[in-house]
């Protein structure tokens, strides 16, 4: 609108002169009101940090208006407003909590606003005792999701990758997680907060197992080696928390061809939801034909597996439904000192697992997490002429709420129910027995998180559990706190009581027992600077009420009791660095463990055969730009493990020689969508010994003969070709390797 | 006298009718930005964003300033704080507009900032997502020069990495320059410009 238009419009309006005058006065008034500042209020003051340091660049304004300004170099601000009455003044600055003050504008002068540091910011202390995180968005990540698939020794198994972290013991012939002197059953695995009842594919003696679930479904892994949250129970030593991906990248099809089988996967993505599935078929027959191992395979290992995930985003939440089915079978004869013709073993396993979870916000401050899982696992096992068939049906339901009182105070509480129905049938030509148990555990937990400042935070919680089978109630207090000792370092301590029911192999024969117990004491020091992390942790664990029995194996008529006890103590060191050497990322873990326990059929307290004093892992990954390749190395050293030599007095009194294995891998990016992957485990062919089997009867000289327990094969080769087909041709399966 | 009054009215009218508070604020913010005071500009955009709670442009510019600044930020902790702030305001902008190619491009740029922050960690994770976002922006508005440029720049980076020919993407950059030349802003204060930068990209990538 230019001047001429205004003139014209006024002319055309042809208003009476006095109206015109009123209009002019009104307009003038409005104009001058905002320009000459009478009836204007001045808002002024200074913005500082808690300690008085002025903050430059803070944004100060009246809520919902245009009136405001940026603080100057001295933290001072001064602006005018035409607003009157009670208004809300806001002051905000990066990494500080937003300040709000409601008052009459006339009161808002010469203010001193001290902003509180935002405790959600990166340099806030983190409770780190016992917890090893593998995620993208945490500064304290010791492992990144990708590491699971690019660590040379892991062969794509997330458990294999975790075995390079401190606190774990190398038990090469088993493959499961052994944490700080605990046996494998003392670690529980959760997917999206919901329990997994049968996480490992069953195998037999001296053949390591693998985790069932494909690693590329997860983008966050938290591995706690002690002192974990009250939210998790039924684990004496450790919990492993796996979080599935919220939203896949894009539509794609993935094809894998490997020396041991093949797989196909597909992901479809829509506006709010996505569906992924993948199937794989593994057959070791061709591999074993070329590289026979020490076993005599009648039917080499064969497995068919399928997984699917559906995700749906709602306005304020996300629903995930996950289902996995797998079936595996094999039959073999293993060398055995007590059977000249060997020990015959066959196994068929069917496993179905489904898990549904919902996480969402009810409003600004209430968050809900709920879900459930159901497992059906069936094993048909044949050992010589014995047939053992078992079926487990288990379910877990959980409901958890979290109330956020402020950035600094959060309370969570919830309840959960575990149900297990286990039936086993044993038969041979003489007997046929059917037995099992039906167990329910109800639990409730609550936890309070308080962050006092960026320097100091505590977590206090408690968990109560009731076992239907034993009619026993247990109460476990847990607490941890962390204190920042410097810009990059912090100390953290944790204490907790943990209960766990005996495993299925005991419960199926006896239900007059009670829960086993541990107490954890942890002291942790952590130093994190850019792309470097150092962790040192000392711990002590006291075991009590461990299950004991009086036969060689748990049996129908063994005498069971909770008379066992023990301890584990030691320290763990971890160093990761991807800064010092260009294009090289490496980490080193060392664990020292001192443990003895009286449990199972031990006559005296002794160091179990799954525990050893020293464990060292070194992993390195070297990216060679010119070759489009990543070359990885992984070395594991562990000192000898105990075994009983019946030719000498004592129990578990001897030690094997130490274990060494160097693995290498090479991933070559042929193009954006095609990857060739080669790996060799134990490239040096070190002759490792996992233990000894002694004859049950002495020979003519009164000597018990023995046989070394060697791995089925000293080395393992793997070659795979991975091809991703997607619309934009940039994705690849490097993260699947 | 009458004449004087008319002139007065005219001045007053120009002042009050020609520019709303929104326009004044936005203009001031762009001035600050041009005067190399991006944080004061961001603060002002932020104030406008909370006063005008349906307009996507103010939060879009808060996010953009934070994303662009994070590319040059040396302090890693500040960089993360900026990227987090950008994410917040980008989400606000997203909620206020639908199918907007400019917002999609900015999201791709934000993820690129994460890749710059830690390539080893975020490169593999975000690369497919970034490519997908550029593809999506291109589907929404294939004639938008910033979309064409962003996509071509990303594709060139990937192609170079795998020693593949980049000619086809250089043509895309040339096309973007052409589009910049005849670009009309889609609305008042809408994103515009970038032609000079496109020339620079072309020179760096396509001319030996």
Residue found by looking up tokens 């070359």 in the block: A631
Whether the Cβ atoms of residue A145 and residue A121 lie closer than 8 Å to each other: no
Looking at residues A221-225, what average pLDDT do you find? 87
A734 and B12: CB-CB below 8 Å? Answer: no
Residue A301 phi, psi dihedral angles, 5° rounding = -55, 130
Dist CA A171 CA A187 (whole Å): 14
A10 and B6: CB-CB below 8 Å? Answer: yes
Q: Which residues, including other chains, have CB under 8 Å from residue A496's CB and lie 6 or more apart?
A: A226, A227, A228, A230, A476, A477, A478, A479, A480, A519, A520
A627 in contact with B at a CB cutoff of 8 Å? no
Dist CA A85 CA A83 (whole Å): 7
| Tokens, residue A287 | 């591999």
73-102 in chain A: CB under 8 A from chain B: 92, 94-95
Q: Which residues of chain B neighbour A61 with C-beta distances below 8 Å?
A: 47, 50
Looking at residues A650-660, what average pLDDT do you find? 94
What local confidence, expressed as pLDDT, does residue A732 receive?
53
Q: Is A567 exposed, middle or buried (0-12, 13-18, 19+ CB in 10 A)?
A: middle
Tell me the per-residue pLDDT of B185-199, one tens digit each, with 9 for 90 and over. 888 899 888 888 888
How many CA atoms are closer than 13 Å to the CA of A369, on its beta-carbon side? 13
Q: Cα A195 from chain centroid?
A: 12
Q: Which of B34, B79, B50 is nearest to B193 (CA)?
A: B34
Q: For CA atoms A442, A222, A130, A615, give the dihedral sign.
A: positive
Residue B99 phi, psi dihedral angles, 5° rounding = 50, 50
B39 in contact with A at a CB cutoff of 8 Å? yes
Dist CA B176 CA B198 (whole Å): 7
Task: Tally helices (H) and strands (E) across chain B.
Answer: 10, 0
Is residue B121's pLDDT more than 50?
yes
HEC letters along A218-274: EEEEEEECCCCCCCCCCCCCEEEEEEECCCCCCCEEEEEEECCEEEEEEEEECCCEE
Residue B36 phi, psi dihedral angles, 5° rounding = 60, 40
Residue found by looking up tokens 């019946």 in the block: A646
Residue of A2, A24, A121 with shortest CB distance to B9: A24
Q: Which residues of chain B neighbour A628 with C-beta distances below 8 Å?
A: 162
| Tokens, residue B195 | 């032609």
Residues of chain A with pLDDT > 70, as a percent, come to 91
What local confidence, expressed as pLDDT, does residue A627 receive?
85
Q: Which residues of chain A neighbour B9 with C-beta distances below 8 Å?
A: 6, 10, 23-24, 27
B13 and A6: CB-CB below 8 Å? Answer: yes
Residue of A30, A726, A727 with shortest CB distance to B16: A30
What local confidence, expressed as pLDDT, does residue A239 receive?
93
Whether the Cβ atoms of residue B25 and residue B43 lie closer than 8 Å to each other: no
Tell me the per-residue pLDDT of A610-622, one tens digit each, with 9 for 90 and over. 999 999 999 998 9
What local confidence, expressed as pLDDT, does residue A411 receive?
95
Cα angle value A159/A264/A242 (rounded, 5°): 30
Assign B205 a pLDDT band (cuts: 50, 70, 90): confident
B135 in contact with A at a CB cutoff of 8 Å? yes
Residue of A66, A531, A628 with shortest CB distance to B25: A66
541-560 in chain A: CB under 8 A from chain B: none
Among A19-33, A235-249, A552-566, B30-44, the minimum mean pLDDT is found in A19-33
B8 and A28: CB-CB below 8 Å? Answer: yes
Q: Which residues, including other chains, have CB under 8 Å from residue A395's CB and lie 6 or more apart?
A: A372, A373, A374, A375, A417, A418, A419
Assign A11 a pLDDT band (cuts: 50, 70, 90): very low
Residue found by looking up tokens 């899982």 in the block: A373
| Tokens, residue B55 | 């307009």
What local confidence, expressed as pLDDT, does residue A271 receive?
83
* Cα of B27 to nearest chain A Cα, Å: 13
Residue found by looking up tokens 């943990």 in the block: A498
B35 in contact with A at a CB cutoff of 8 Å? no
What local confidence, expressed as pLDDT, does residue A736 receive?
40
Is residue A502's pLDDT more than 90?
yes
Considering only residues A249 and A473, tell me which one the structure prediction assigns the higher pLDDT: A473
CB atoms within 10 A of CB B83: 22
What are the residues facing A336 on neighbouring strands?
A: A339
Q: Which of A438, A451, A452, A241 is nearest to A357 (CA)?
A: A241
Assign A75 a pLDDT band (cuts: 50, 70, 90): very high
Among A28, A60, A672, which would you mutate to test the B interface (most chain B Cβ atoms within 10 Å of its Cβ)? A672
What are the residues facing A597 on neighbouring strands?
A: A566, A606
B46 in contact with A at a CB cutoff of 8 Å? yes
* Cα of B200 to nearest chain A Cα, Å: 25
Q: For CA atoms A638, A640, A644, A646, give the dihedral sign.
A: positive
Decide the pairing of beta strands A629-638 and A642-643. unpaired
Residue of A61, A669, A735 with shortest CB distance to B47: A61
Q: Which residues of chain B neighbour A95 with C-beta distances below 8 Å?
A: 77-78, 81
Looking at residues B8-27, what average pLDDT do you find? 65
Q: Which residues of chain B neighbour A68 with C-beta distances below 8 Å?
A: 43-44, 47
Q: Look at residue A362 and give its three-state secondary structure.
A: coil
83-102 in chain B: CB under 8 A from chain A: 85
| Complete DSSP assignment for B17-86 | HH--HHHHHHHHHHHHHHTT-HHHHHHHHHHHHHHSTT-SHHHHHHHHHHHHHHHH---HHHHHHHHHHH
Q: Which of A414, A359, A466 is nearest to A229 (CA)?
A: A414
CB atoms within 10 A of CB A211: 24
Q: How many CB pairs under 8 A join A and B?
A: 113
Tell me the per-residue pLDDT of A458-491, one tens digit each, with 9 for 90 and over. 999 999 999 999 999 999 999 999 999 988 889 9
Q: Which of A528, A116, A453, A120 is nearest to B84 (CA)?
A: A120
A731 and B39: CB-CB below 8 Å? Answer: no
Dist CA A301 CA B49 (whole Å): 62
B13 and A726: CB-CB below 8 Å? Answer: no
Dist CA A237 CA B85 (whole Å): 39
Angle between helices B57-72 and B101-117 (to 10 degrees): 20
Decide the pairing of beta strands A716-726 and A41-49. unpaired
Assign A728 a pLDDT band (cuts: 50, 70, 90): low
What local confidence, expressed as pLDDT, does residue A578 receive?
82
In Å, the largest CA–CA distance within chain A is 135
Dist CA A249 CA B131 (whole Å): 10
Whether the Cβ atoms of residue A181 and residue A571 lie closer than 8 Å to each other: no
197-216 in chain A: CB under 8 A from chain B: none
Assign A601 a pLDDT band (cuts: 50, 70, 90): very high
Most confident of A542-546, B7-11, B14-18: A542-546
| Tokens, residue B145 | 């020069």
Assign A47 a pLDDT band (cuts: 50, 70, 90): very high
Tell me the per-residue pLDDT of A443-459, one tens digit each, with 9 for 90 and over. 999 999 998 888 899 99
B160 in contact with A at a CB cutoff of 8 Å? no
Residue of A23, A250, A671 with shortest CB distance to B132: A250
Residue of A65, A70, A728 with shortest CB distance to B132: A728
Among B8, B10, B22, B122, which would you mutate to test the A interface (most chain A Cβ atoms within 10 Å of its Cβ)? B10
* Cα of B146 to nearest chain A Cα, Å: 19
| Helix or strand run (H / E) with residue B125 | helix B119-140
Q: Which residues, including other chains, have CB under 8 Å from residue A515's CB and lie 6 or more apart?
A: A465, A467, A470, A472, A474, A499, A500, A501, A545
Q: Which residues of chain A neighbour B13 with C-beta distances below 8 Å?
A: 1, 6, 27
A94 and B131: CB-CB below 8 Å? Answer: no
What local confidence, expressed as pLDDT, does residue B11 receive?
46
A40 in contact with B at a CB cutoff of 8 Å? no
Assign A5 a pLDDT band (cuts: 50, 70, 90): very low
Residue found by looking up tokens 């979290």 in the block: A402
Residue of B121, B124, B162 with shortest CB distance to A671: B162
CA distances (Å), origin A694, targets A15, A332, A643, B53: 117, 21, 10, 79
Is residue A354's pLDDT more than 90?
yes
Tell me the per-residue pLDDT of A153-171, one tens digit each, with 9 for 90 and over. 777 777 888 899 999 998 8
Q: Which residues of chain A neighbour B12 with C-beta distances below 8 Å?
A: 24, 27-28, 31
Residue A155 phi, psi dihedral angles, 5° rounding = 50, 40
* Cα of A11 to nearest chain B Cα, Å: 10
Is residue A315's pLDDT more than 90?
no
Residue of A59, A530, A628 with shortest CB distance to B47: A59
Average per-residue pLDDT for chain A: 87
B81 and A1: CB-CB below 8 Å? Answer: no
What local confidence, expressed as pLDDT, does residue B155 receive?
86
Is residue A737's pLDDT more than 50?
no
Average per-residue pLDDT for chain B: 85
Whether the Cβ atoms of residue A734 and residue A720 lie closer than 8 Å to each other: no
Dist CA A275 CA B144 (whole Å): 32
Q: Look at residue A173 and give its three-state secondary structure.
A: coil
Q: Is A487 exposed, middle or buried (0-12, 13-18, 19+ CB in 10 A)?
A: exposed
What local confidence, expressed as pLDDT, does residue B27 receive?
92
Q: What pTM did the predictor assign?
A: 0.81
* Cα of A220 to nearest chain B Cα, Å: 12
Considering only residues A119 and A421, tell me which one the structure prediction assigns the higher pLDDT: A421
A270 in contact with B at a CB cutoff of 8 Å? no
Tell me the per-residue pLDDT of B61-118, one tens digit each, with 9 for 90 and over. 999 999 999 988 888 888 888 999 999 999 999 999 989 999 999 999 999 998 888 7
A136 and B127: CB-CB below 8 Å? Answer: no
* Cα of B65 to nearest chain A Cα, Å: 13
Q: Look at residue A647 and give its three-state secondary structure.
A: coil
Among A140-154, A428-442, A648-662, A670-684, the minimum mean pLDDT is found in A140-154
What local confidence, expressed as pLDDT, does residue A201 receive?
85
HEC letters along A512-543: CCCCEEEEEEEEEEEEEECCEEEEEEEEEEEE
CB atoms within 10 A of CB A136: 16
CB atoms within 10 A of CB A616: 19
Looking at residues A399-428, what average pLDDT do you find? 94
Looking at residues B135-146, what average pLDDT do you find? 91
Assign B166 a pLDDT band (cuts: 50, 70, 90): confident
Q: Cite the beta strand spans of A30-172 per DSSP E.
A: 41-49, 59-62, 68-70, 76-81, 86-92, 99-104, 111-115, 131-135
């Amino acid at each position: 609108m230019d001047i001429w238009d205004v003139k014209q419009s006024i002319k055309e309006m042809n208003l009476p002169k006095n109206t015109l005058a009123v209009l002019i006065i009104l307009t003038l008034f409005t104009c001058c009101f905002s320009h000459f500042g009478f009836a204007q209020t001045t808002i002024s003051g200074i913005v500082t940090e808690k300690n008085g340091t002025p903050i430059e660049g803070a944004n100060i304004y009246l809520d919902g208006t245009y009136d405001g300004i940026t603080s100057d170099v001295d933290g001072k601000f001064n602006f005018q407003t035409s607003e009157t009455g009670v208004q809300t003044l806001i002051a905000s600055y990066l990494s500080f909590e937003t300040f709000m003050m409601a008052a009459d504008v006339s009161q808002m002068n010469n203010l001193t606003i001290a902003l509180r540091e935002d405790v959600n910011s990166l340099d806030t202390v983190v409770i780190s005792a016992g917890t090893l995180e593998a995620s993208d968005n945490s500064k304290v990540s010791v492992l990144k999701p990708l590491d699971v698939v690019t660590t040379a020794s892991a062969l794509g198994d997330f458990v294999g990758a975790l075995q390079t972290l401190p606190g774990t013991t190398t038990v090469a012939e088993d493959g499961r997680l052994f944490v700080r002197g605990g046996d494998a059953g003392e670690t529980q695995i959760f997917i999206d907060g919901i329990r997994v009842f049968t996480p490992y594919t069953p195998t037999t003696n001296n053949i390591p197992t693998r985790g069932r679930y494909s690693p590329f479904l997860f983008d966050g892994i938290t591995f706690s080696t002690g002192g974990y949250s009250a939210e998790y129970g039924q684990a004496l030593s450790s919990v492993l928390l796996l979080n599935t991906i919220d939203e896949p990248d894009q539509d794609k099809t993935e094809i894998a061809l490997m020396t041991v089988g093949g797989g196909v996967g597909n992901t479809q993505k829509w506006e709010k939801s996505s569906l992924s599935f993948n199937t794989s078929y593994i057959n070791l027959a061709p591999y074993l034909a070329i590289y026979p191992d020490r076993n005599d395979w009648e039917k080499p290992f064969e497995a068919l597996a399928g997984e699917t995930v559906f995700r749906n985003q709602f306005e304020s939440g996300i629903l995930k439904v996950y289902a996995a089915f797998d079936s595996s079978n094999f039959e073999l004869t293993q060398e055995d000192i007590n059977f000249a013709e060997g020990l015959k073993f066959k196994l068929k396993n069917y496993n179905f697992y489904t898990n549904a979870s919902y996480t969402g916000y009810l409003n600004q401050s209430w968050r809900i997490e709920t879900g459930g899982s159901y497992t059906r696992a069936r094993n048909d096992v044949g050992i010589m002429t014995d047939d053992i068939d078992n079926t487990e049906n288990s379910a877990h339901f959980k409901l958890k709420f979290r109330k956020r009182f402020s950035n600094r105070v959060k309370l969570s509480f919830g309840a959960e129910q575990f149900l297990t129905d286990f039936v086993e049938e044993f038969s041979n030509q003489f007997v046929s027995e059917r037995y099992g148990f039906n167990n329910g555990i109800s639990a409730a937990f609550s936890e309070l998180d308080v962050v006092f400042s960026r320097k100091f935070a505590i977590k206090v919680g408690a968990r109560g559990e009731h076992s239907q089978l034993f009619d026993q109630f247990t109460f476990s207090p847990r607490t941890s706190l962390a204190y920042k000792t410097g810009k990059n370092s912090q100390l953290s301590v944790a204490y907790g009581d943990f209960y766990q029911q005996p495993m299925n192999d005991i419960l199926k024969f006896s239900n007059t027992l009670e829960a086993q117990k541990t107490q954890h004491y942890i002291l942790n020091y952590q130093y994190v600077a850019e792309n470097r992390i150092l962790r040192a942790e000392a711990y002590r664990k006291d075991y009590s009420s461990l299950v004991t029995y009086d036969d060689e194996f748990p049996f129908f008529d063994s005498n069971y009791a909770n008379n066992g006890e023990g301890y584990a103590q030691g320290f763990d060191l971890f160093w990761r660095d991807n800064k010092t050497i260009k294009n090289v990322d490496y980490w080193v873990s060392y664990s020292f463990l001192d443990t003895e326990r009286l449990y199972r059929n031990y006559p005296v307290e002794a160091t179990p055969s799954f525990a050893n004093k020293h464990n060292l892992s070194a992993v390195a990954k070297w990216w060679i730009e010119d070759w489009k390749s990543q070359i990885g190395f992984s070395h594991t050293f562990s000192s000898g493990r105990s075994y009983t030599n019946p030719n000498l007095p004592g129990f578990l009194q001897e030690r094997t020689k130490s274990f060494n294995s160097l693995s290498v891998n090479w991933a070559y990016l042929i193009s954006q969508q095609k990857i060739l992957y080669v790996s060799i485990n134990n490239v040096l062919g070190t002759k490792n010994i996992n233990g000894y089997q002694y004859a049950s009867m002495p020979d003519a000289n009164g000597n018990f003969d023995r046989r070394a327990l060697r791995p089925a094969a000293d080395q393992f080769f793997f070659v795979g070709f991975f091809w991703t087909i997607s619309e934009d041709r940039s994705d690849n399966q490097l993260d699947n390797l | 006298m009458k004449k004087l009054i008319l002139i007065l009215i005219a001045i007053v009218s120009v002042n009050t009718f020609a520019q709303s508070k929104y326009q004044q604020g936005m203009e001031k913010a762009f001035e600050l930005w041009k005067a190399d005071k991006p944080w004061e500009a961001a603060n002002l955009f932020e104030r406008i964003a909370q006063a005008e709670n349906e307009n996507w442009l103010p939060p879009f510019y808060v996010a953009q300033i934070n994303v662009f600044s994070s590319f040059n930020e040396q302090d890693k902790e500040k960089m993360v704080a900026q990227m987090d702030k950008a994410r917040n305001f980008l989400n606000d902008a997203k909620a206020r507009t639908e199918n907007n190619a400019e917002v999609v491009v900015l999201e791709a740029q934000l993820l690129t900032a994460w890749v710059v922050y830690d390539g080893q960690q975020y490169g593999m994770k975000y690369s497919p997502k970034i490519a997908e976002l550029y593809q999506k922006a291109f589907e929404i508005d294939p004639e938008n020069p910033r979309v064409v440029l962003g996509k071509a720049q990303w594709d060139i980076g990937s192609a170079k990495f795998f020693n593949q020919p980049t000619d086809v993407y250089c043509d895309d950059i040339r096309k973007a320059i052409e589009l910049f030349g005849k670009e009309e802003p889609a609305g008042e204060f809408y994103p515009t410009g970038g032609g000079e930068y496109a020339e620079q990209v072309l020179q760096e990538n396509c001319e030996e």
